[in-house]
Each structure stands twice: as structure tokens, then as C-alpha cells.
Amino acid sequence: MSKISPLSGFPELLPAQRVVEQQVIDTLRSTFELHGFAGIETRAVEPLDQLLRKGDTSKEVYLLRRLHEESAEGHAGLGLHFDLTVPFARYVLENAGRLEFPFRRYQIQKAWRGERPQEGRFREFTQADIDIVGRDTLAFHHDVEVTRVMVDAMTRLDFLPAFRLQVNNRKLIQGFYAGLGIADADEVMRLVDKLDKLPVERVRQMLLDEAGLSAADADRVLQLATIRSDDDGFVAAVRALGVEHELLDEGLAELGELVRGCADLVSDRVRVTADLSIARGLDYYTGTVFETRLDGYESMGSICSGGRYDALASDGRTTYPGVGISLGVSRVVVPLLARTGLVASRSVPSAVLVAVTDEDSRTASAAVAAELRARDIACEVAPSAAKFGKQIRFAERRGIPYVWFVQADGTSQVKDIRTGDQVEADPATWTPPEADLRPRIVSTVGPEARTSTTENTNEETP
């Protein structure tokens, strides 16, 4: 058999790591549902004309083709979706007659993107999106709402480092550019959006060479992009640049409302900043735009982004405006697993291993396990009737905290193998402490590192 090598860009997790990812997904799902968002799942593929019409994504799309494809194009005209927004727009159009608007949806699903793998960027990854979509109109307060919902969800992931949510408004940017008389605002925004990757002087030269701006206009554009504020003080800073336009006024008002609407969320872990360099690369955004960066992990770029799109979905008669924000689950989880040793406190969901005295008594052990499971206590029965010390060590290797012994007279005892404490127990009433019911997320680095405290693993019958 040839040597098996990892496939770059397609992360696979060990069981204790998968528990971390699953708990993240469960937390996101429960938080989104608390706010009234309904869950959906869309198909993995979309027609290429749909995938390629939203921004500069042609290099990222994976084509779907048969091994013996016979069509002239060489493929089926389908590609794997690279995000969840494009398929969601199609979903809304196809099901508009059966949906109630504003339609609030969350979607936690795989996506595929053919880019160069690097930290936090993969070819196959999981995203978690929330969107609110209206019919013809959608009030701006929904922009504030989706921001608050995602901050709530991220705050509940208490292992996350502190993070900064950076917000801007494309109306503000476009209005400013229009006030300067810039014709191709989209191209200028595309270049300004590179400021987090390229030096200012390099971007300035690109504005001159590629966007055709004058030196004066390029400088004003970059002055706007340097404005940052943790409150609505950015309004005065923009006004001081002396540019006037009706769309600029509208963008300033909306961004100010958003920043003020999230002010009570600010804490030692959460900061909300008006950052006028944020533009987002995809061209369907029309208003609010978001990006989010983790403290100490800025090299990963934005881990949570999105914005307002007033015309993403339309059937020619009705337009469906929306606002949404997406968290890159894989983008957050996989690097944190690698950098911090983030892991589950055990590699299996089982809180209890039911020991087996001998194979003739396996039925009795299975009956105890069934009673525990009936009360939502995850457990498993020992795979063999080895000496009890070996069964205890089997539980310890899997991180299972309790071992259950069924006595010859039908009574039971349960042992906490971390402390050695052993007590009489009834499977109809006994429950482990809340902290032991499910695996916990811990770090293997620093004072929170999990270590085994099992001392008594002798091979004598308890």
C-alpha cells in the first residue's frame, strides 16, 4: 500500500478536536434559534452563471464534471458553491411563494473554494451564516440586529480570544467618491480593500495607475480610509475632509446608527469599531459591511464578515433585499486547535463506562447502560470482560470519568476514576455532575491543561 499523505486544504479532525468544532456549531445554532432564525440547507452545487456573476470569484470555483465527460465544454455547467450567500439568493427566488418575509434564516454548511491553502483558509470549510431578507424593502434596524446576533453567538464561545468587529457603509464610501467626481467607484473600493494586505504607498500607486485617479483624489480616498472610531466621532472626521454628497449623508447616518446600536455590547472581549477602510471585495454589498478580527490572530484576517445587499436576489418583478453576516467556523476552529492546543476534555461523549464482570453478565451491564441512556446520560459498555483494572484504564484512555460496576446481587456501584471515590448507585436515579455530562472544551497549554488524576487502577474486584 502506498504511503498516505494529508491533502492540503481539506482539514480532518481527531475525535477530541471534532468535539470542539461540534460544540461551536451547536452553540451557534442554539443562539441563532434563540433569535428566531430558521435553519436551512442548500445543495452543494449551483449553475456556473450564478456562481460567476457575484464579484471576482472565477478562480475560486471548483467545477463539477464526470470522469468521462463528453460535452463540448468539458464539464456539467455546475460548480461547488464557494460561499452560502449565492445559493441562498437562489433559494429565496425558488421558494419566495412559500416563505414569510422578512425571512430569517441561518445556515451552517460546507463550502469549497479553490484558493491557496494557508492558516485559516481552506479548500473545504464550514461556514455559519445568518441573513434577514425582505420583499422589496428591508428596514435598516435589521442591520443592527444581525450584528448583535452574531456578537451574541461569538461571545458565547468563551474560549475565543477578544475580538474587534469592524463596520463601515458602502453608501458612505460611494457618496464620498461621487462627491470627488470619481467615475468607477467599484474599482476604487476594490483597491482600497487591499489596505490590510498591501502598504499604503502601494495602494496609492494602484489608485493612480489602475483606477486613473489624480494624486489629490488618491490622497483624499486614503485619508477617508484611515478614519477609525469606537463611537460616532467618525462623522465629524469625515465632514472635516470637506466632501459633500447626498449618498454620503445617508451612509454616515446609517453607520452612526449601527455603532450606537451596538454600544452596549462593548466589553473587555468585544469592541465595535467604525473602520472606513473596510469595503469587502464582493460587488453585491450596497450598504453596511462587516469584518471581524481576533486579537493576537490578526494574520488570519477577517474571521466573520458580511453586509447589506439590496439587490442580490430579483426575479424581474420583485427584489429581495437582505443583510447577513457569516462566521468562518473552520477558519476559527482549526487554527485555534493548532495554536492553543484547544481540545475536548474527552474524545468520546460517554460519561460512564459500564464494566462487564464476565461475558455471561454482559446482558445485565447492557441493561444498566440502557437505563442511563434513557435519562440522557451518554455511556458505553466495556468491550471485553477483562480484569477491572484494565477496564478502568480503558475508560481513562478515552477520558471517561466514571466506571459502573454491576454486583452479583444486582446492586451497583459507580467509581469516579479521577479521585478513586466509589459509591452505591441506582441507574434509575444517579446522575453525574453537570460538568461531567458532556465533554468540555479545554486547552492543553497552560493552567487549564487537563491531566489524569486516576490513582487506583489495580486489577482487583472493587
For residue 356, which amino acid is it?
A: V
Q: Is 63 domain-assigned? A: yes
Q: Is 202 domain-assigned? A: yes
pLDDT for res 313? 87
Q: Is 259 domain-assigned? A: yes
- pTM as predicted: 0.88
Average model confidence (pLDDT) for the chain? 91
pLDDT for res 445? 64
Does residue 395 share a domain with residue 360?
Answer: yes
Question: Which of 70-79, 164-173, 238-247, 379-388 is the least confident region?
Answer: 70-79
Contacts of 133 (CB under 8 A, 6+ apart): 92, 101, 102, 103, 105, 313, 320, 321, 322
Question: In 3-state terms, what secondary structure has residue 426?
Answer: coil
Strands 304-314 and 288-294: antiparallel
Does residue 351 share a domain with residue 338?
Answer: no
Does residue 168 share a domain with residue 281?
Answer: yes
pLDDT for res 452? 30
Question: Which of 98-107, 176-185, 445-454 is the least confident region?
Answer: 445-454
Q: Is 157 domain-assigned? A: no
Q: How confident is the model at residue 54 (pLDDT cuts 50, 70, 90)?
A: low
Which helix (H) or strand (E) segment holds residue 44: the answer is none
Spatial separation of the C-alpha atoms in residues 230 and 211, rounded to whole Å: 31
Q: Is 28 domain-assigned? A: yes
Please determine, for residue 450, whether its predicted confidence score (pLDDT) is greater than 60. Answer: no
Q: How confident is the model at residue 388 (pLDDT cuts 50, 70, 90)?
A: very high
Does residue 108 share a domain with residue 24?
Answer: yes
pLDDT for res 454? 30
* Range ranked top by mean pLDDT from 68-72, 104-108, 156-160, 302-306: 104-108
Q: Is 274 domain-assigned? A: yes
Does residue 358 share a domain with residue 270?
Answer: no
For residue 361, which amino acid is it?
A: S
Does residue 338 share a domain with residue 365?
Answer: no
Does residue 191 share a domain with residue 96?
Answer: no
Three-state SS string over 26-89 comes to HHHHHHHHHCCCEECCCCCEEEHHHHCCCCCCCCCCCEECCCCCCCCCCCCCEEECCCCHHHHH
C-alpha cell at 408: 452479583
DSSP code at position 273: E
Does residue 354 share a domain with residue 291?
Answer: no
Contacts of 154 (CB under 8 A, 6+ apart): 160, 163, 270, 292, 304, 327
Q: How confident is the model at residue 75 (pLDDT cuts 50, 70, 90)?
A: confident
pLDDT for res 69? 79
CA dihedral in degrees (16, 21, 26, 32; nearest 10)?
170
Q: Choose one of 295, 321, 356: the last residue of a domain.
A: 295
pLDDT for res 6? 82
Q: Is 437 domain-assigned? A: yes
Looking at the structure of the chain, the number of domains it has is 3
Q: What is the pLDDT of residues 203-234, one digit of tens each?
A: 999 999 999 999 999 999 999 999 999 999 99
pLDDT for res 55? 53
Q: How confident is the model at residue 9 (pLDDT cuts 50, 70, 90)?
A: very high
Does residue 123 share a domain with residue 45?
Answer: yes
What would the mean pLDDT of 66-77 be, rounded to a whole number? 80
- Give the whole-number percent of the chain exceeding pLDDT 90: 76
Distance of CA 420 to the CA centre of its chain: 40
For the chain, first and last CA: distance in Å? 46
Question: In 3-state terms, what secondary structure has residue 34?
Answer: helix
pLDDT for res 460? 40
Spatial separation of the C-alpha atoms in residues 41 and 91, rounded to whole Å: 10
Question: Which of 77-86, 192-201, 230-239 is the least confident region?
Answer: 192-201
What would the mean pLDDT of 54-67 be, rounded to a whole number? 76
Considering only CA atoms, which of 337, 335, 306 is closest in space to residue 128? 306
Please determine, for residue 56, whether its predicted confidence score (pLDDT) is greater than 60. Answer: no
Does residue 368 share a domain with residue 335?
Answer: no
pLDDT for res 448? 40
What would the mean pLDDT of 331-358 be, rounded to a whole number? 94
What would the mean pLDDT of 26-44 be, rounded to a whole number? 98
Please determine, for residue 333, whether its predicted confidence score (pLDDT) is greater than 50. Answer: yes
Residue-range definition of the domain harbouring residue 174: 162-295
Contacts of 405 (CB under 8 A, 6+ apart): 355, 357, 388, 412, 413, 414, 415, 462
Does residue 207 share a domain with residue 130?
Answer: no
Q: What is the pLDDT of residues 130-142, one digit of tens each?
A: 999 999 999 999 9
Q: Is 449 domain-assigned? A: no
C-alpha cell at 227: 478614519
Q: What is the pLDDT of residues 256-307, one digit of tens each?
A: 999 999 999 999 999 999 999 998 766 678 999 999 999 999 888 899 999 9
Higher pLDDT, 426 or 1: 426
What would the mean pLDDT of 380-401 be, rounded to a whole number? 97
Q: What is the pLDDT of residues 409-438, one digit of tens each?
A: 989 999 999 999 999 999 999 999 999 999
pLDDT for res 366? 97
Does residue 131 share a domain with residue 16?
Answer: yes
pLDDT for res 282? 60
Residue in this structure with the C-alpha cell 451552517, named with its chain if needed: 108
Please determine, for residue 310, whether its predicted confidence score (pLDDT) is greater than 60. Answer: yes
Spatial separation of the C-alpha atoms in residues 145 and 461, rounded to whole Å: 59
Note whether 24 and 329 are within 8 A (CB).
yes
CATH of the domain at 215: 3.30.930.10
CATH of the domain at 351: 3.40.50.800
Please determine, for residue 458, whether its predicted confidence score (pLDDT) is greater than 60. Answer: no
Spatial separation of the C-alpha atoms in residues 181 and 101, rounded to whole Å: 38
